[in-house]
Structure 1
Amino acid sequence: MSEFSTWDVFRNLLAAVPWTIYLSLIAFAGGAVVSLILLSLRLAFPRVAGRPVHLYVQVFQGTPLLMQLFLVYFGLALMGIQTTPLLAASLCLSVYSSAYLTETWYGCVLAVPKGQWEASSSLGLPHWQQMLLIILPQALRLSVPPTVGLMVQIVKNTSLASIVGFVELTRASQIIANATFEPFLAYGAVAFIYFVICFSISLCGRHLEKRIRI
């Protein structure tokens, strides 16, 4: 019989929750910064930057995240850069999320009705004012649901960081399962915690969407 109680399992898993959230926030923030830069280039210089940005998106959307994580983790070491599981996971997830955010936000900008583009052009505004004052505020409203959905995906994708030794929820559950010999309890508990985190994000997204529409 295992010496660990159900509470011991949950208590140790809850200790790993902040690391999962921390990695998720880094991945989303880093991805958002990169995607804003790429989106700005794509909109400002469509002929010059359009194809390179599109290629960037296709490469990172079209390859498995696990393979990207391996390439970053071992690639940095080959380049002589001292790496850690947190650094590799943060860099990889940031780049991965930036590819999806770039394409999502670009689609939201294009989804703004054509009449709004024509109306803003008729005012004689410079391109950057046209985007900043008229197009982007409308695109922001459209972007809330897919962005929240991507945030949920990022939280779940942090589980892959366990493969390089980063101790977040999934890695913690593996350690606990090996120590308690109760894998169903450990993995069932971590699945429940992931659900609570992701469901909370979805609820906050719905609330934000309603506030923006008012």
Structure 2
Amino acid sequence: MWQLYQFPLCPFSRKVRLQLSEKGVPYELWRENPWEARDDFLALNPAGRTPVVHESERGITLCDSRAICEYFEETIDKNALINGTAVTRAEIRRLTALFDENLFGDVTAPLLHERMKKRLVYRQSPDSRVLREAMKLAHEHLYYIDHLIDHRQWLAGPTISLADLAAAAQLSVADYLGGLDWAGHEQAASWYAVIKSRPSFRPLLAERMEVIQPPSHYADVNA
């Protein structure tokens, strides 16, 4: 069975978990705190980042969420998440990269640093200026999701895709950390409510980080 080395609030780990669940791939969760830089984990991924998936019987180790997702898309036929025409597949990959890079860099990463890592690792208080800027940029990303949903059933086209999972993974972490204001984003909120209602998402909504608790609406599929 696959072993998934992940950190609960790592959005890239969440993206892989969602994909594996959507495709019906069984796996075991292994908690990994990347900042601890354990030798055994660095042997699996010298970059020291989650997620990593490992299958000991076949001697397979995969690192980097995009590489992992591409591997399972190529090897598991069930519930394709990079699908459609060549143009649609290119759009899925474009949006996945946009959410993995821009949404993470603008919103998720600063929230994780200020509200999680500073508290758990450095024992410091968050910088309110950084938090305000991240929440301001979050609105811009939500406006773009509003725009996409105005023109499509799902973010990249007529069916759910890896782009939806990538965006939802980032937003779920930001939402857990209280960094999202959904007011004025009815389209994005409706899309996210549908994603939250999927069986693949339920384990994420049920998990809690030690010390850090999410806002009351976090696990409410109707919120």
TM-score, with structure 1 as normaliser: 0.29
Larger strand proportion of the pair:
2
Larger helix proportion of the pair:
1
Which structure has more RCO (C-alpha within 8 Å, separation ≥ 6)?
1
